[in-house]
Amino acid sequence: MKKLPARNELMLPTIQAITELGGSANTEEIYEKIVENLQLSDSLLEVINGKTGQSELQYNLSWVRTILKNQGVLSKVGRGIWVLAENKPVDIIKKKEPKIEKIQEKEAEEEVSEAENWKKAAIEVITEKMSPSAFERLIQRILREKGFSQVEVTGKTGDGGIDGKGIARINGILSFHIIFQCKRYKGKVSAGAIRDFRGAMVGRTDKGLFITTGTFTRDAIREANRDGAPTIDLMDGEKIAEKLKELNLGIDVELREHITINKKWFESF
């Protein structure tokens, strides 16, 4: 595909992706499946949305999922899991693509913008107000809150990019040593940076975590999951913001009343 599909052109691919993934999937799985099905090039995937700093495709898919949720085609459960509604079979949806009314489009745009803007604001505070050492301590706190133990920030220069280490525990039974690297900037982490980090892991551990307030290039993501090499888990700025919100660290969530007028209800009289 030579250009990014328009939002309305992503409706059915989103439904199809979730269908192929078994009727439920998280945001990343949906994204990767759509990229695979539509055969989108790396250059298209790196087109940035000016409002949020994330890719244009990711932003548009957020909009599409919101529209489908508001139409009752999708529901969101748990921590970011999207599920196809049982009362709207996919074969029926395929025959008649969901229509997008102007009011729905406006509401979805507002909802998505609000959801994405707070993440952008959180990342800006971290990159502009925190020092590199403070950022490392923040990551240390996040890892501890998520169940890691013996989390240490080394902060040593010439240590091959290793900023810290810790022990990750699974269900209080299994555990493994992990080392991590933190990059506090707005740019993209390249595949070369992932390879350098993996080189620093040799002889220390088989598990690494690369954390950045920016994003990762497609090549970097592929390199992190390359067959035959130790896997490196990745955490970008958006994931950092989500974890801070989940753990109530520096992000306060206020519930407010949202009122909409159901025009169809009045018109039914």
Write down the pLDDT at residue 1: 56
Beta-bridge partner residues of 55: 48
21 and 53: one domain? yes
Please state, in angstroms and rounded to a whole number, the distance separating the CA atoms of residues 151 and 136: 11
Write down the pLDDT at residue 142: 94
Kind of pairing between the strands at 174-183 and 208-212:
parallel
* CATH number of the domain that residue 34 is part of: 1.10.10
Give 5-71 as a DSSP string: PPGGGGHHHHHHHHHHTTSEEEHHHHHHHHHHHHT--HHHHTPBPTTTSSBHHHHHHHHHHHHHHHT
Structural tokens at position 20: 């192929």
pLDDT single digits (tens) 242-253: 899 889 889 887
Domain-located, residue 60: yes
User: Residue 100: which domain range?
Assistant: 7-127
Point out the residues of the chain with pLDDT beneath 50.
Answer: 92, 95
Residue 205 is given by DSSP the state -
Kind of pairing between the strands at 164-170 and 149-153:
antiparallel
Domain-located, residue 31: yes
110 and 137: one domain? no
Structural tokens at position 143: 């890892």
Domain-located, residue 256: no
Kind of pairing between the strands at 174-183 and 149-153:
unpaired
Closest by CA to 130, choosing from 237, 247, 252, 246, is 237
How many of the other CB atoms lie within 10 Å of CB of 161? 19
Domain-located, residue 1: no
Domain count, the chain: 2
Write down the pLDDT at residue 72: 85
* CATH number of the domain that residue 172 is part of: 3.40.1350.10
162 and 219: one domain? yes
Q: In a 3-state reduction of DSSP, which class is residue 163?
A: coil
Task: Return the amino acid letter for 50.
Answer: G
Please state, in angstroms and rounded to a whole number, the distance separating the CA atoms of residues 239 and 116: 12
182 and 228: one domain? yes
Write down the pLDDT at residue 95: 47
47 and 149: one domain? no
Element (H, E) at 166: strand 164-170
Structural tokens at position 15: 């439904």
96 and 116: one domain? yes
pLDDT single digits (tens) 29-59: 999 999 999 999 888 888 877 776 678 888 8
